[in-house]
Amino acid sequence: MIRRQMAEENALLLGRKTFEEMRGYWPLQTDDATGIADHLNGVQKYVVSSTLEDPRWQNTTVLRGSAEGEVRALKEQPGSDIGVTGSMTLVRDLIRAELVDEYRLFVYPVVLGRGERLFGDATGVPKLRLLEFERFRSGVVLLGYAPT
């Protein structure tokens, strides 16, 4: 599913914090056999930020308007999937604006006593329909859901 997602994804949407973390790591990976570094370095990246000046990572555009308006405009352009990784504040804005077409969630077999929740306080959470799942040897499960 991960390779298929990379093949179908022609754009990556990120919040500033996640973008800066990824920019500090992925462009420096020269021996990545997974293809993730090549994908991230080559894919068109959009960063929603009012403070980021120079993205300093190839194929990156800074979106300075409202996340809702900018993403609506991106979705109207021709192309395939727009992926989002991390970026919890941005994702919550997209959920509220009903701009999420599919959720692909990695579930790790770790119990945490605290942390950020995807759906926050669980108000306005869409009903979800399971599309597919994939198990990995590590115990991680990838779940694909679509809003009903």
| Domains identified in the chain and CATH numbers | 2-147 (3.40.430.10)
**Gap between the Cα atoms of 84 and 90, Å rounded:** 9
φ and ψ at residue 108, rounded to 5 degrees: -100, 140
E strand or H helix that includes residue 146: strand 141-147
The three-state secondary structure class of 9 is strand
Confidence at residue 7, expressed as pLDDT on a 0 to 100 scale? 82
| Span between the terminal Cα atoms of the chain, in Å | 21
Close Cβ partners of 97 (under 8 Å, ≥ 6 residues apart): 67, 68, 71, 72
Residue type (1 letter), 29: Q
Structure tokens at 63: 């979106």
- Full-model pTM: 0.88
Confidence at residue 121, expressed as pLDDT on a 0 to 100 scale? 65
Confidence at residue 1, expressed as pLDDT on a 0 to 100 scale? 63
User: Would you write out the chain's pLDDT as a tens digit for each of its 148 residues?
Assistant: 677 778 888 999 999 999 999 999 999 999 999 899 999 999 999 999 999 999 999 999 999 999 999 999 999 998 779 999 989 999 989 998 999 999 999 888 887 777 777 877 656 678 999 999 999 999 999 999 999 8
Query: DSSP of 103-114, one letter per residue?
Result: EEEEE-S---SS
Structure tokens at 117: 């929740």
